[in-house]
Amino acid sequence: RPEDATGEDETVRAVEAGRPPQGAALWDRLRATAQELNRLLEPPAAADDDAPAQPAAAAGVIDFPVRQVDRMTLSVAAGGGAAELDEAVVDHLTFRRDWLDRNGLDPSQCTVVDVQGESMEPTLPEGCTILVDRARRRRRADGIFVVRTADGVVVKRAGKNASGAWLLISDHPAWEPAPWPRDAVVIGEVKWMGVTL
């Protein structure tokens, strides 16, 4: 059978022959597999604090370009509305550059904020972190947007009613759709969500 790009068949044959990869060869194989799966591979904890540090390649550290996105202090509301979006940067969240590029995201135009309230559950659980692309402010049906309204800043899905009028839609079934306010301003579109389990 043909060998794939990660050399999996070669490794399987070596294991079956009683010659599994060890040391740096093992970590090279694990690193290649992690890259194929788009995953990070953490180096193992040292068994002895006095043991010499391994080179990055041998330790299985994947070295790829990353970009930082500003994290703002405000939690946007999936409900009644939060205060104005605070421009103060309190932290940064790191994203892979190739992921940002694939999704057409310019980190200088993106903001990371937290979500308050349950009206966008189960899509956006309360307390989750979202990445907002401020370059994408044009409404589109079914997109999720951070919107500044007279009542504050909210995160809602954009939709239309039968007559074609725009609505602010909550994903939680207990929350009814609301008319899109005439003076509402789209801050940006939500393009990523992260949550701690």
166 and 129 in a common domain: yes
pLDDT of residue 103: 96
**Who has greater pLDDT, 81 or 103?**
103
**pLDDT confidence tier of residue 145, bands split at 50, 70 and 90:** very high
Mean pLDDT throughout 25-50? 58
Diameter over CA atoms, the chain = 72
Lowest mean pLDDT among 53-57, 89-93, 148-152: 53-57
- Based on the fold, state whether residues 42 and 123 are members of the same structural domain: no
Q: Which domain holds residue 30?
A: 8-59
Q: Does residue 152 contact residue 146 with C-beta atoms inside 8 Å?
A: no
Give domain status of residue 1, yes or no: no
Side-chain half-sphere exposure of 86, counting CA atoms within 13 A: 14
| pLDDT at residue 22, rounded to an integer | 62
Please tell me whether residues 117 and 138 are part of one structural domain: yes
Check whether 139 has a pLDDT greater than 80. yes
- Is 164 domain-assigned? yes
Is 153 part of any domain? Answer: yes
* Amino acid 157: pLDDT: 97
Within-domain flag for 181: yes
Quote the number of domains for the chain.
Answer: 2
Q: Is residue 8 over pLDDT 60?
A: no
Residues 96 and 149 both lie in one domain: yes
Q: Tell me the pLDDT band of 24, cut-offs 50, 70 and 90.
A: low
Confidence at 15, pLDDT banded by 50, 70, 90? low
Would you say residue 3 lies in a domain? no
Q: Are residues 110 and 166 in the same domain?
A: yes
Same domain? 90 vs 122: yes
CATH no. for residue 186? Answer: 2.10.109.10
Q: What is the mean pLDDT of the chain?
A: 79
The answer, yes or no, to whether residue 66 has pLDDT greater than 60, is yes
Quote the pLDDT of residue 2: 44
Regarding whether 42 and 81 lie in a shared domain, the answer is no
Written as six digits, the tokens of 76 are 């946007």
Asked if residue 84 and residue 178 are part of one domain, the reply reads yes
Give the domain-ending residue among 19, 43, 59.
59
CA 24 from chain centre, in angstroms, equals 31
Residue 109 has pLDDT above 90, yes or no: yes
Residue 49 maps to a domain: yes
Residue 92 shares a structural domain with residue 158: yes
The gap between the terminal CA atoms of the chain, to the nearest Å, is 41
Average pLDDT of 38-59? 51
Measured between alpha carbons, how far is 74 from 54 in angstroms, rounded to an integer?
41
**173 shares a domain with 79:** yes
Is 50 exceeded by the pLDDT of residue 47? no
Q: Say if residue 125 is in the same domain as residue 178.
A: yes
- Within-domain flag for 183: yes
The per-residue pLDDT for 197 is 83
SS3 141: coil
Instruction: Note whether 95 and 136 are same-domain residues.
Output: yes
